[in-house]
Chain A
């Protein structure tokens, strides 16, 4: 067994995929992180304190995972949908009644969207209450707030797409708020909706925003967000005084 593993891991085919050996030693464990595109956002080594569940509750990672689930289910939903006023609602009915697992797919996308909003909000609260916004992490806090707003934008634009009464009136009420802004408010509202009322233009714009512009921006800015976490020295947990130091005067 051991020899088989070594044969596979040292074979030319394996080595053409992974440029490191079996990760059971410090060198190869470092190389996993530095030579793998999916891992390279991670640091090679992490502080034990930052892994403590009761510190972060894993909320940032969970938010990223939910975003991944939403991307996959969202792409699958696109196979059974077209953003036209005449046909959108019919497509949702067909999806729910005739497409295998269609209802389940839509449910996962819907509940995933709600879950993402909740997780992102609690992630922000966690970062605030642990003081993790303090220098040198100020800018990453700003990036995080922008991501929170974009999450709301992604959810809001997706809300219109089923084109049922719930969607129509929620977007009508939601966008009417923008009209109250002094100065640019009414213009902003008409730009968003493509007209004075929620109609085909609004559906087209919300669809483009929902499936392309906002997700692409979230993916890009999330990369920046995670990269900055590493560049700013990992989670702030390690700034906390050591348990050994507590109660001692270590001024």
Chain B
């Protein structure tokens, strides 16, 4: 590139005379030694190399997995012979598990729709920019997430087990109206279980930030979704009853469903 000559007006002789005085001392970060003004580096080749390595890694992992385990293939489809259990693909097993605990419209349609709508609207419910780009936003956020996750990990499997072992819908059938048993009671139970940690958050912190409310709700939904999916996928055997994954009757293995 051709060297540009500085315009003459920039020489000290012609510069306008101006005096400076110290007005204020500001507490600010020290000079960024050895860093650009915004701490950036060129994307090429750094990012390109990362992407190349990740591509190779993904291919190696998939190839290894594919050499080790064959994709399942059962007998040709036969509409006249139902498999037992008949399961949806694993990522929908959370939904199928939900069906065991209440009216299908509530469990498989209303609650999942509500969940998706909530997840979509998270950034509009919590639009405070602070804490963006930091895992869990703060030390308190980390604790809130941890305790909520632990709560969900204990309460949700317990609920699934109790509700399957002593199903109120079966035990109280005929004594209470179906709508109450199938829809109202399960909805209230679900609602209380999911919202209880939020209530605790309000009691303990008095005035939680929107981010902290989102941490509780999202963690609750995320961990519950994992618990329901794993239960449906791993712990449901013939007759869609609860078993240990390694102790399924009739030679059934949940892993064959992948």
Contacts and interface: CB of A to CB of B under 8 A. Distances in A.
Contacts, number: 242
B109 A49 contact: no
B50 A180 contact: no
B127 interface: yes
Given A45-B43, A107-B69, A170-B88, A165 B62 contact: no
B172 interface: no
Contacts of A8: none
Nearest to A181: B109
Interface of B: 27-30, 32, 35, 38-48, 50-51, 54-55, 58-59, 61-63, 65-67, 69-79, 81-83, 86-92, 95-96, 99, 104-105, 108-109, 116, 119-120, 122-124, 126-129, 131-137, 145, 211, 214-215, 218, 222, 256-258
A23 B46 CA distance: 12
B104 A177 contact: yes
Interface of A: 23, 26, 29-30, 32-33, 39, 42-49, 51, 55, 58, 61-62, 65-66, 68-69, 85, 89, 92-93, 96, 103-104, 106-112, 114-115, 117, 125, 128-135, 137-138, 141-142, 145, 149, 152, 155-156, 159, 162-170, 172-174, 177, 180-182, 185, 197-199, 235-242, 244-245, 248-250
A46 B40 contact: yes
Given A61-B54, A185-B109, A235-B133, A33 B74 contact: no
Given A133-B122, A177-B108, A23 B45 contact: yes
B60 to A, nearest CB: 11
Given A69-B59, A165-B74, A177-B99, A239 B92 contact: no
B93 to A, nearest CB: 10
B48 A39 contact: yes
Contacts of B257: 166, 170
Nearest to A124: B119
A168 B55 CA distance: 33
8 contacts: A39-B43, A134-B128, A135-B129, A164-B77, A173-B86, A177-B108, A198-B77, A235-B133
Contact of A26 (B42, B72, B79): B42
Q: Which of A134, A145, A239 is packed against the most chain B CB atoms within 10 Å?
A: A134
A48 B40 CA distance: 6
B119 to A, nearest CB: 6
Nearest to A96: B73
B42 to A, nearest CB: 4
Given A132-B133, A134-B128, A239-B129, A104 B77 contact: no
Given A48-B41, A239-B129, 19 more contacts: A29-B42, A39-B48, A48-B39, A51-B41, A58-B50, A103-B71, A107-B66, A107-B71, A110-B258, A114-B258, A129-B145, A130-B133, A130-B134, A165-B78, A170-B87, A177-B96, A181-B105, A199-B79, A236-B133
